[in-house]
């Protein structure tokens, strides 16, 4: 499948690398290709410069947002949440129309350090903002509740644990669930929380997520929904 | 132990009944005793009128907030979150000073129905508001992430699952953890998330909690933190 992953950070790389290794034709989108390739320093999280990462992932092509959007039958938004609407604008409405827009972005406000607050919350969410801005896109918010390394290797966490899928379009959710299954998420681990409004729930989980991270001293965790 | 439970709703009744059954000397606080006893209709959640509930829980005395506060060595805030600061004002700062103030309230805005939004979120929380308003009280936010029936009977949910404890005072958290243990929460189920700022995390979990509730069709669930 032709997939565009928007965003060259940790999440974008993890998804692009994994989906490419699974045989998909993946283009990773960025605002400025030359600038992205010119970086020589690790980012603030310690990730190697993109050009160095790409040496180990040569099947993944780098392109400007609009070119990536034109390539993708499915678009994965893995940009920073605070920049997502701008990145999608650069990608172009025509490149999103009718397509599955898998939104993994979180509206984290990291300006005050960790733990982050959110740039939108409570009575709205980034997922809803994106769906409103691109009504012809079939937005699916999914896989937002775990660290990048867990996203693409759910077996890092033992036993049963869950991820959440949210969106208005049942076929689009099924498409994303199919990719999640390919990545390694068991069908029973995927919990469909209904329409895009529930993006509030998965995004507002972040403060608890970072509090658990601080308490455990690791991002290698997830939550399991346990029922009677 | 002498315990005051503020709030005659579902959570207050569940906690007061359980703590009383465990042998504690429990007073349940309300704004207006006569008005509370005069109710003859079930509330919007279908809970029986308080006077009827009390027939089965005669060891639990009903008192005005201030009288309850004077009685309690430990104060449990089980009022509606939107009314908590007003209820604590009626309880009186002198009745809170130096005491463990176990806060189970959630700042739910139910004015638009379910799922609720929050009356405070993101850059502040009800737990922090209460601690700021009563700096001499030793606020512990705990047990907020499950339905009332699960709160007092954790065995309803099979296997391992977690609850969160938040607050500035380690001794106060140990006191609440002791009560949680008496109620039936295994020690390993109690996850300490640090200082009161993490109240944002447990309160902002509510939209996800209600989305999971809607997806499962039951409140008989909890989450488990699963780590590598």
Predicted confidence (pLDDT) per residue in B141-190, tens digit:
999 999 999 999 999 999 999 999 999 999 999 999 999 999 999 999 99
- For chain B, what is the radius of gyration of the CA atoms? 16
Predicted confidence (pLDDT) per residue in A117-167, tens digit:
999 999 999 999 999 999 999 999 999 999 999 999 999 999 999 999 999
Predicted confidence (pLDDT) per residue in A102-118, tens digit:
999 999 999 999 999 99
Q: Is the ipTM of this complex over 0.90?
A: yes
Pairwise CA distance, residues A3 & A69, whole Å = 9
- Model pLDDT, residue B45: 83
Is the CB of residue B202 less than 8 Å from the CB of residue A208? yes
The verdict on a CB contact (< 8 Å) between B212 and A220 is no
Least confident of A57-66, B27-36, B37-46, B48-57: B37-46
The verdict on a CB contact (< 8 Å) between A204 and B208 is yes
Buried-state track B33-63, b at ≥16 Cβ within 10 A, e below 16: beebeeeeeeeeeeebbbeebbeebeebbbb
Peptide bond into B75 cis (omega under 30): no
Please report, rounded to a whole number, the percentage of residues in chain A having pLDDT higher than 90.
97
Pairwise CA distance, residues B198 & B217, whole Å = 28
Burial of A168 (0-12, 13-18, 19+ CB in 10 A): middle
Evaluated on CA atoms A63, A69, A73, A79, the torsion sign reads positive
Chain B residues touching A158 at Cβ < 8 A = 226, 228
Is the CB of residue B225 less than 8 Å from the CB of residue B164? no
Chain A residues touching B216 at Cβ < 8 A = 225, 227
Q: What angle do CA A210, B221, A224 make, to 5 degrees?
A: 45
Confidence of residue B37 (pLDDT cuts 50, 70, 90): very high
Compute φ and ψ for A199, nearest 5 degrees. Answer: -55, -30
- Which chain A residues have any C-beta within 8 angstroms of a chain B C-beta? 115, 117-118, 121-123, 156-161, 164, 166, 191-194, 197-198, 200-202, 204-212, 214-216, 218, 220-228
Predicted confidence (pLDDT) per residue in A59-75, tens digit:
999 999 999 999 999 99
Is the CB of residue A153 less than 8 Å from the CB of residue A184? yes
- CA distances from residue B211 to A75, A197, B112 in whole angstroms, order as listed: 25, 9, 15
Which of B145, B21, B22, B134 is closest to B75 using CA atoms? B134
Q: Give the closest-approach CA distance of A78 to chain B in angstroms.
A: 21
The verdict on a CB contact (< 8 Å) between A223 and B226 is yes
- Model pLDDT, residue B44: 83
Q: What is the average per-residue pLDDT within B52-75?
A: 98
Which of A139, A157, A138, A137 is closest to A147 using CA atoms? A157
Domains of chain A: 2-216 (3.40.50.720)
- Model pLDDT, residue B109: 96
Burial of A171 (0-12, 13-18, 19+ CB in 10 A): exposed
Distant-in-sequence, close-in-space partners of B219: CB < 8 Å, separation ≥ 6: B147, B149, B150, B213
Predicted confidence (pLDDT) per residue in A165-182, tens digit:
999 999 999 999 999 999
Distant-in-sequence, close-in-space partners of A113: CB < 8 Å, separation ≥ 6: none
- pTM score above 0.95: yes
Q: Please check the confidence at residue A45 and state whether its pLDDT lies above 90.
A: no
The verdict on a CB contact (< 8 Å) between B225 and A216 is yes
| Helix runs in chain A, H state only | 10-21, 33-38, 50-55, 65-71, 81-91, 93-96, 126-133, 148-151, 170-183, 199-204, 206-216
Compute φ and ψ for B184, nearest 5 degrees. Answer: 125, 5
Peptide bond into A88 cis (omega under 30): no
Predicted confidence (pLDDT) per residue in B196-218, tens digit:
999 999 999 999 999 999 999 99
Pairwise CA distance, residues B9 & B19, whole Å = 15
- Model pLDDT, residue A163: 98
**Six-digit token string for B26:** 């429990």
Confidence of residue A44 (pLDDT cuts 50, 70, 90): confident
Q: Give the closest-approach CA distance of A96 to chain B in angstroms.
A: 27
Which of A98, A1, A23, A17 is closest to A62 using CA atoms? A17
Pairwise CA distance, residues A12 & A9, whole Å = 5
Confidence of residue A52 (pLDDT cuts 50, 70, 90): very high
Chain B residues touching A197 at Cβ < 8 A = 115
Which of B102, B106, B127, B227 is closest to B177 using CA atoms? B102
Pairwise CA distance, residues B94 & B83, whole Å = 19
């Amino acid at each position: 499948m032709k997939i565009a992953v928007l965003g060259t950070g940790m999440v974008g790389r993890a998804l692009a690398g994994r989906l490419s290794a699974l045989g998909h034709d993946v283009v990773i989108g960025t605002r400025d290709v030359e600038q992205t390739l010119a970086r020589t320093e690790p980012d603030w999280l310690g990730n190697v410069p993109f050009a160095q990462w790409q040496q180990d992932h040569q099947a993944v092509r780098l392109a400007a947002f609009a070119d990536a959007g034109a390539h993708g039958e499915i678009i994965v938004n893995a940009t920073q949440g605070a920049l997502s609407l701008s990145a999608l604008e650069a990608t172009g409405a025509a490149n999103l129309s009718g397509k599955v827009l898998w939104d993994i972005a979180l509206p984290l406000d990291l300006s005050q350090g960790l733990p982050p607050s959110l740039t939108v919350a409570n009575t709205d969410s980034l997922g809803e903002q994106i769906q409103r801005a691109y009504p012809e896109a079939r937005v699916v918010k999914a896989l937002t509740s775990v660290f990048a390394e867990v996203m693409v290797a759910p077996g890092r966490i033992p036993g049963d644990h869950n991820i959440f899928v949210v969106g208005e379009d049942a076929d689009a959710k099924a498409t994303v669930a199919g990719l999640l299954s390919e990545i390694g998420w068991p069908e029973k681990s995927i919990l469909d929380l209904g329409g895009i409004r529930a993006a509030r729930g998965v995004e507002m989980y972040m403060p608890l997520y970072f509090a658990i991270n601080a308490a455990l001293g690791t991002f290698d965790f997830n939550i399991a929904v346990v029922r009677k």
